[in-house]
């Protein structure tokens, strides 16, 4: 089992550009959540996808959008990048409703210059 895989692992973008990050969930998992983790901080919830719909959203602007595909994989898109968007972006997959265990990928390190 490959677990949760994210791509790319590292990315450098310029302010104002757009970026797409990708996530393949653990086999058997149908729910994908995205988190942003600034250096030295805990992860912050961006949004969660289930059955190809955004089920929950954290306190992030509309520049952050996502998608879930029929095979449960997911993308995170960020438009009009700001320097403050530099962070580690984590994808977590899970299954089930009651306190599901979240399995995290290794993250994508995004640097905006």
Q: Is 15 exposed, middle or buried (0-12, 13-18, 19+ CB in 10 A)?
A: exposed
Find the binding residues for another protein in span 93-112 (CB under 8 A): 94, 97-107
**Residue closer to another protein (CB basis): 14 or 97:** 97
Terminal-residue alpha carbon distance, the chain:
36
- Which SS3 state, helix, strand or coil, does residue 53 take? strand
| Contact call for residue 60 and another protein (CB under 8 A) | no
Which residue ranges make up the site for another protein (CB under 8 A)? Answer: 4, 31, 33, 35, 40-45, 48, 50, 55-56, 58, 90, 92, 94, 97-107
């Amino acid at each position: 089992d490959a677990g949760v895989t994210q791509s790319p692992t590292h990315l450098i973008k310029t302010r104002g550009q757009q970026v797409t990050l990708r996530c393949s969930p653990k086999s058997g998992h149908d729910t994908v959540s995205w988190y942003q983790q600034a250096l030295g901080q805990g992860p912050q919830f961006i949004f969660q996808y289930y059955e190809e719909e955004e089920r929950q959203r954290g306190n992030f602007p509309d520049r952050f959008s996502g998608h879930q595909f029929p095979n449960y994989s997911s993308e995170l898109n960020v438009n009009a990048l700001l320097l403050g968007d530099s962070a580690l972006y984590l994808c977590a997959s899970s299954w089930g409703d009651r306190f599901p265990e979240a399995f995290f990928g290794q993250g994508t390190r995004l640097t905006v210059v």
